[in-house]
Amino acid sequence: MIIVAVLLLLLVLFLVSAIKVAREYERGIVFRLGRLFPEPKGPGLFILIPIVDRMVRVDLRTVTLNIPPQEVITKDNVPARVNAVAYFRIVEPKAAIVQIENFMVATSQIAQTTLRSVLGQHLLDELLSERDKINAILQTIIDEATTPWGIKVARVEVKDLEIPSGMQQAMARQAEAERERRAKIINAEGEFQASERLKDAALVIENHPIALQLRYLQTLLEIGGASSSTIIFPAPIDLIRPFLQRSDHTSSNDADGGLPPKPTQPPAPAQPS
DSSP secondary structure letters along 121-173: TS-HHHHHH-HHHHHHHHHHHHHHHHGGGTEEEEEEEEEEEE--HHHHHHHHH
Residue 7's Cβ-side half-sphere holds a number of Cα atoms within 13 Å equal to 4
Residue 82 near residue 119, CB atoms below 8 Å: yes
DSSP state, 41? B
Helix axes 210-225, 165-207, angle to 10 degrees: 120
Q: Identify the pLDDT of residue 146.
A: 94
DSSP state, 101? S
Q: Identify the pLDDT of residue 37.
A: 87
Q: Identify the pLDDT of residue 273.
A: 40
Kind and range of the H or E run holding 27: strand 26-32
Three-state DSSP class for residue 69: strand
Strand order in the sheet with 35-36: 35-36, 26-32, 53-59
DSSP state, 187? H
Q: Identify the pLDDT of residue 202.
A: 81
What span, in angstroms and rounded, lies between the C-alpha atoms of 265 and 191? 60
Residue 1's Cβ-side half-sphere holds a number of Cα atoms within 13 Å equal to 0
> Backbone phi, then psi, for 156, in 5-degree steps?
-135, 130
> Backbone phi, then psi, for 41, in 5-degree steps?
-95, 145
Three-state DSSP class for residue 78: coil
- 63-163: CATH architecture: 2-Layer Sandwich (3.30)
Task: Tell me which residues of the chain have a pLDDT lower than 70.
Answer: 212, 223-241, 243-244, 247-273
First to last CA, the chain: 178
Q: Taking the domains of the chain in order of start, what are their residue ranges?
A: 2-59, 63-163, 165-219
What is the tens place of the pLDDT at every residue in 131-145?
A: 999 999 999 999 999
- For the chain, give the number of residues: 273
Class of residue 138 by CB neighbours under 10 A (exposed 0-12, middle 13-18, buried 19+): buried
Kind and range of the H or E run holding 35: strand 35-36
Among 129, 41, 33, 49, which Cα is nearest to 93's? 41
What span, in angstroms and rounded, lies between the C-alpha atoms of 208 and 215? 12
